[in-house]
Structure formats: C-alpha cells, structure tokens
C-alpha cells in the first residue's frame, strides 16, 4: 500500500527504504514516505494478510481512515481520476454537496479514504 499512497500523494521513500525493483523479496515492514522537503508525511506498516473492510457495513470494520483535502471541485475531480488510475475504486459520491463536496474511495487493499474540498 505504500506505493499506492506514494503515487497518490506525490511523495518519495526515505533513502534506503525503496522497495526492490529487481524482483527480490522485500523484507521491509515499515516504509516512511516523505515530501520534497524531507518531512515525514505518512508511515505505512505492512501486514501480509488482511480482510478488506466492508464500509459502510461494519461486518469487517475499517482498520484506518484518511482524509485528503483539495482546494477546489476541479482538483477533487482530478485527484479522484488519478486515484482510480492507481487502482482505487469509488465507494460513495457526494461531489455535488454544496457544503463539503467529497468522494469516498477504497485503496487497492479496500481501505476507505476521502478526497474532499475544504
């Protein structure tokens, strides 16, 4: 999941923690994602086996939830399209809401996250 969020947010791995690109086994269980200034933005812990959440049902509860804010409806659309090209899927569309337009998407592992205008 680190790679999905790295690409979604335009971040990069901390030096020396990049996943292998040669097909070798990746034994890293924590990956730190940094912004261009070298600031830690998010750390992702790998868990080999999980069951995807069933949001909005609580049959399998969510294990995490993140909100990502964008400044305009145009940016909201651009980021939704980008997320979907990376493997996210749309769970809920509230993009027409005048007060707080948003989308709830699921990352490729099924974890819900929101893109919202604020």
CATH code at 87? Answer: 3.10.180.10
Q: Which of 95, 90, 81 is nearest to 113 (CA)?
A: 90
Residue 72 and residue 31 share a domain: no
- For 101-111, how does the pLDDT look when each residue is reduced to its tens digit (9 = 90+)? 999 999 998 99
pTM: 0.84
Tell me the mean pLDDT in the region 5-27.
82
Question: Could you tell me which residues come within 8 angstroms of residue 16 by beta carbon, excluding any fewer than 6 positions away?
Answer: none
Residue 25 in this model has a pLDDT that exceeds 70: no
Query: What distance in Å separates the CA atoms of residue 41 and residue 31, rounded to the nearest whole number?
Result: 11
- Residue 58 forms part of a structural domain: no
Q: Is residue 30 part of a domain?
A: yes
Range of the domain at 75: 66-117
Please classify residue 39 by burial: count the beta carbons closer than 10 Å to its beta carbon, then call 0-12 exposed, 13-18 middle and 19+ buried. Answer: exposed
Number of structural domains found in the chain: 2
Residue pair 80/74 in contact by the 8 Å Cβ criterion: no
């Amino acid at each position: 999941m680190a790679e999905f969020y790295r690409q979604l947010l335009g971040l990069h791995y901390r030096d020396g923690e990049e996943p292998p690109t040669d097909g070798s086994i990746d034994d890293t269980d924590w990956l730190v994602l940094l912004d261009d200034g070298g600031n830690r933005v998010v750390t992702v812990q790998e868990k080999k086996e999980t069951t995807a959440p069933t949001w909005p049902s609580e049959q399998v509860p969510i294990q995490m939830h993140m909100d990502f804010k964008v400044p305009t409806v145009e940016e909201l659309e651009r980021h939704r399209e980008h997320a979907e090209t990376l493997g996210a899927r749309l769970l809920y569309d509230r993009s027409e809401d005048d007060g707080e337009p948003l989308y709830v998407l699921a990352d490729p592992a099924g974890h819900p996250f929101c893109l919202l205008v604020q």
